[in-house]
Amino acid sequence: MKLGIGVSEDVPVAVQQRIATDVEAADFASLWTNEASGRDALLLCQAWAAATTSLQVGIGVVPIWTRSPAQLAMAAATLQEASGGRFLLGLGVSHGATMGPWHGAEVRRPLTAARELLEILEQLEAGERSSVDGEVLSSRKFQLAISPRPPATRRYLAAMGPKMLALAGAAADGTLLNWASPAEVERARAIVREGAVEAGRRAEDVEVAAYVRVAVADDALEARGALATQIVQYGRLPAYADHFGRQGFGDALDRANQAREQGASPSELADALGDDAMDALGWSGTPVDDPAPMLERFREAGLDHLVLRVVTVGPEPVDAVHAVTRAFDRFTGPSRD
């Protein structure tokens, strides 16, 4: 199982580049960022690639509504050329609550849109002219004018439900899970593999990756509270509330939401969620605590690529990244895959 690091885009670019060199020096396989309302994630990947030599650089994820398929293909190919083939492109349908107000984008028929986007990107990266007249996304007569053509980009489809997971198996290079317990990873992996086989692909060629939230601080209770706060924040989005409920944590989330409404502190939110939910959905601890059992649970579940998504504890995001890197660097490197 490969280990990567996931960080927020909301850190200055020069600092991001120093983080990238530190992550590479610690032998992590990859570095990922999200795209929300801060710095452009594609440009951050370019900055990381320029500062490193072997580290894979990825986005988890680009909303499929904010750039045209042709724009995404141009950007991915350019990043592949600049990085020497180290770019990882995560794609996701995001949420109507942000895509509409922020971008004026209509989120509709997300499964169909994701399928059409993957088809268009595959055509363009193969050097073909696009010929998809889709129900949601279309591209016709476009061809990448980049020579020599860089290697095709590895594409990861963010997925929670069975239909999107099956599509990842059928048409993407991997799936990127989020807020998934080991049991959920095992369930998702089976669906992805079945989707690959039904599409005539080798199941082992489709990578199962996951963001796993981790919080590290000298104060264990502070770290636990920071993790709990993020669980509750995500749980306010309907898609994630359903996702947590399917995993058996609906009652825990209800308790935490009630506590939040009553003004609970972060540590009280953690108590409301309970150990079962907290331990399944992430990891928190001090620099001397042992995360090996958590890693082993995900490895046994069949996870191929675990991305340690840094939860900021305290006022300095960079300190939180360094704390996570130091806590997990003994598990990195080729011998640990």
Boundaries of every domain in the chain = 2-218+287-336, 219-285
| CA separation for the pair 31, 34 (Å, rounded) | 11
**For residues 139 and 130, is the Cβ–Cβ distance under 8 A?**
yes
The total number of residues written for the chain in this structure: 337
Identify which of 57, 76, 73 has the alpha carbon closest to the alpha carbon of residue 144.
73
Instruction: List, in sequence order, every beta strand (DSSP E) within the chain.
Output: 2-7, 30-33, 56-63, 87-92, 131-133, 138-140, 154-158, 174-178, 207-216, 282-285, 305-310
3-state secondary structure 50-88: HHCCCCEEEEEEEECCCCCHHHHHHHHHHHHHHHCCCEE
> Burial, 262: exposed, middle or buried (Cβ in 10 Å; 0-12, 13-18, 19+)?
exposed
Per-residue pLDDT of the chain (337 residues; tens, 9 = 90+): 999 999 987 889 999 999 999 999 999 999 999 998 889 999 999 999 999 999 999 999 999 999 999 999 999 999 999 999 999 999 999 878 788 888 888 889 999 999 999 999 999 999 999 999 999 999 999 999 999 999 999 999 999 999 999 999 999 999 999 999 999 999 999 999 999 999 999 999 999 999 999 999 999 999 999 999 999 999 999 999 999 999 999 999 999 999 999 999 999 999 999 999 999 999 999 999 999 999 999 999 999 999 999 999 988 889 999 999 999 999 987 645 5
CATH of domain 2-218+287-336: 3.20.20.30
